[in-house]
Amino acid sequence: MALVAALGFSQQTAGNAQIRIEPIRGHMYLIAGAGGNIIASIGPDGVLLVDSGLAENADKVLEAINQLNREIANHGGLPTTTVIPPKPIRYIINTHLHADHTGGNEKISKAGRTITGGNVTGEFGDAAEGATVVAQQAVLDRMSQIKPALPFAALPEDTYSDEMKLSHFFNGEAVVLLHQPAAHTDGDSFVWFRGSDVIATGDIFVTTSYPFIDLQNGGSIQGELAALNRLLDLAVPEFRTEGGTLIIPGHGRICDIADVAYYRDMVTIVRDRVQDMIQKDMTLEQVKAAKPTADWDPRYGSGDRFVEAIYKSLTNPPKEAK
Ligand SMILES: [Zn+2]
């Protein structure tokens, strides 16, 4: 933590897009301000990113990664003239398909190759092809259908169905992807760094707004709540300290299990209120007018879109959640 603060990364990388680097724990860093949150694991095996931000911010994200790479490589008393080749970007894991989380895929995955350079190329055969983009199968299915077609390098090339782990330790720990069906979308993954005890949630969990349930892309309130409950099952608190599992939301600040519990309770209460109103045969307009989110609107803004998504999910449930 002191490393980053002392070197003033934030100031150096703050351009117009306001990119901010925050240490999470150990070799894990949060790169914020490029769209959705980007999580970086940086160490001897190279760089693994969770999500890639908006396309227009990709250069700034690369600049931030290069700075982290340089400072970490040169840490440890080496003379500043010692040139250590930067580590390649090996993986980009997409938590879901939205452009604020996948827009940087093309540029950043290609940079996985050029960043390697010199004698590092030989160590990482696949790095010569650029970083591998990994996501749940539905992310590839839906991104392949976007018109006009996305360039090949923007699409996930390695996909999974229910659960996947990287085949080997990366920077000293297991990295596990867990599919959360029909939640924010139908292709959401939690990314669990088992050694660091850090979980990236994508937009299933955000601190800045109500959950956005993307019905068009297969989301549902049932899956959203199931995913938040799964997150609470996975996470472990450490009482009376700031330790325990760290949860990195799709947007907003670094959290712990208590923050997720608060959010899950809010989502549950609003869902129950809307369910009661549906049972009283209230229309969507009547439900919205009754303001079932009023208690939290000062914190999260208008609840209309959230209420509408809950209403539609409950009156027309997705197949998996029936
Ligand atoms: Zn999203």
What string of pLDDT tens digits covers the 322 residues of the chain? 334 433 334 434 434 679 999 999 999 999 999 999 999 999 988 999 999 999 999 999 999 998 888 877 766 555 555 555 667 899 999 999 999 999 999 999 998 764 444 444 444 444 456 899 999 999 999 999 999 999 999 999 999 999 999 989 999 999 999 999 999 999 999 999 999 999 999 999 999 999 999 999 999 999 999 999 999 999 988 876 667 999 999 999 999 999 999 999 999 999 999 999 999 999 999 999 999 999 999 999 999 999 999 999 999 987 754 4
3-state secondary structure of 320: helix
202 CA distance to ligand 1 centroid (A)? 7
275 CA distance to ligand 1 centroid (A)? 25
* 202 domain-assigned: yes
Which of 160, 193, 224 marks a domain boundary? 160
Do both 261 and 219 map to the same domain? yes
User: What is the per-residue pLDDT for 286?
Assistant: 98
Do both 2 and 92 map to the same domain? yes
- Domain count for the chain: 2
85 CA distance to ligand 1 centroid (A)? 34
| H-type alpha helices, the chain | 2-7, 9-13, 58-73, 99-102, 105-114, 137-145, 221-234, 257-279, 284-289, 297-300, 304-315
207 CA distance to ligand 1 centroid (A)? 13
**H or E segment to which residue 20 belongs:** strand 20-25
**H or E segment to which residue 90 belongs:** strand 89-93
* Global pTM value: 0.88
User: What is the per-residue pLDDT for 12?
Assistant: 40
* 74 domain-assigned: yes
119 vs 67: CA distance, rounded Å: 20
203 CA distance to ligand 1 centroid (A)? 5
55 CA distance to ligand 1 centroid (A)? 15
User: What is the per-residue pLDDT for 267?
Assistant: 98
Structure tokens that stand for 256 in this block = 């712990």
Do both 197 and 150 map to the same domain? no
Do both 95 and 152 map to the same domain? yes
Do both 42 and 90 map to the same domain? yes
Residues in the chain: 322
* 243 domain-assigned: no
Are 230 and 190 in contact by the 8 Å Cβ rule? The answer is yes
DSSP β-bridge partners for residue 178: 163, 190
Do both 124 and 196 map to the same domain? no
CA-CA-CA-CA torsion sign (148, 52, 175, 110): positive
User: What is the per-residue pLDDT for 237?
Assistant: 85
50 CA distance to ligand 1 centroid (A)? 13
318 vs 322: CA distance, rounded Å: 6
Do both 146 and 187 map to the same domain? no
279 vs 275: CA distance, rounded Å: 6
24 lies in which domain range? 1-160
180 CA distance to ligand 1 centroid (A)? 13
Do both 108 and 193 map to the same domain? no
273 CA distance to ligand 1 centroid (A)? 25
Residues 6 or more apart from 77 whose CB is under 8 A from it?
none
User: What is the per-residue pLDDT for 14?
Assistant: 39
36 CA distance to ligand 1 centroid (A)? 8
Do both 151 and 187 map to the same domain? no
Q: Kindly report the backbone phi and psi dihedral angles of residue 32, in degrees, each rounded to the nearest multiple of 5, phi listed first.
A: -110, 155
214 CA distance to ligand 1 centroid (A)? 8
215 CA distance to ligand 1 centroid (A)? 12
Do both 28 and 131 map to the same domain? yes
* 172 domain-assigned: no
82 CA distance to ligand 1 centroid (A)? 41
CATH assignment of the domain containing 83: 3.60.15.10
- Closest among 53, 51, 33, 8 to 252, alpha carbons compared: 33
Are 274 and 313 in contact by the 8 Å Cβ rule? The answer is no
User: What is the per-residue pLDDT for 9?
Assistant: 41
Question: Exposure pattern of 233-245 as b/e (b: 16+ CB <10 Å)?
Answer: ebbeeeeeeeeeb
